Amino acid sequence: MPQPNLLLGVNIDHVVTLRQARYRTLPDSPNAEPSVLAAALAAEAAGAHSITVHLRADRRHIQDADVFLLRKNIGTKLNLEMGNTREILEIALKARPDFVCMVPENREEVTTEGGLDVAGQREALRSTVKALSDNGTRVSMFIDPDLDQVRASAEIGAAMIELHTGTFANHTGAERAAEVARLRAAAELGQSLGLQINAGHGLTTKNLPDLWPVPHLAELNIGHHIVSRAVFIGLQEAVREMLAVMATYGK
């Protein structure tokens, strides 16, 4: 089969948010549902190219055991989002995900609210990137489309950047067009520096076509919209619906 122009990583954190709403204190209950593995396998069956989970310091959704369960059983790639802490790094080194995406974390936030300040944390991030890379994991930086952050990501040895598309998603009209221009510039610079260009946050089937002027996109990581659509049409159909829109990239 020919490789599609744009790959899809399905973030299943919010499937687990539903499980934790009832079974946070009963992780071994035979009734604990929905299953993180079943969600991952359904996404894969529908055509997802990787499975993304965020192991947060506060463990509000994904748990340590979920990461190892997915690592053992999924058939595609595992992408682990993580903050730069020793505790989570040690778990990542044991689990050996295919990819790690370094993200900022704020306990008060509902979800990740912006990009990581790579330029301001070069040395701390450089050692983490080296440890993960030496262990066989490709590392990405989740950053705003800021040229200094793109350059810093390349300087510390990251293989990829994931451009934060939250500002793009939350605006329309001229403000969205201005953000697309920023995303274009960041993608072009990243490509010239040898970085793989991914993107994610707030992306939906409706707003994706407005993102298509951004060149060099390799993979999108999308979770909330797919899980939200799954409530009404099922997870596999929600993944297929997203892939159908993504197939128009570069056309």
- Where in the sequence numbering do the catalytic residues fall? 54, 81, 201
* CA–CA dist 141, 159 (Å, integer): 9
Residue spans of beta strands (DSSP E) within the chain: 7-11, 50-54, 77-82, 99-102, 138-143, 160-164, 196-200, 217-222
229 membership: H or E segment, kind and range: helix 224-233
Dihedral of alpha carbons 171, 177, 183, 186, sign: negative
118 membership: H or E segment, kind and range: none
Give the contacts of 225 (CB within 8 A, at least 6 positions apart).
202, 203, 204, 205, 242
Confirm if 216 and 5 have CB atoms less than 8 A apart.
no
- The full length of the chain comes to 251
10 Å Cβ neighbour count for 148? Answer: 13
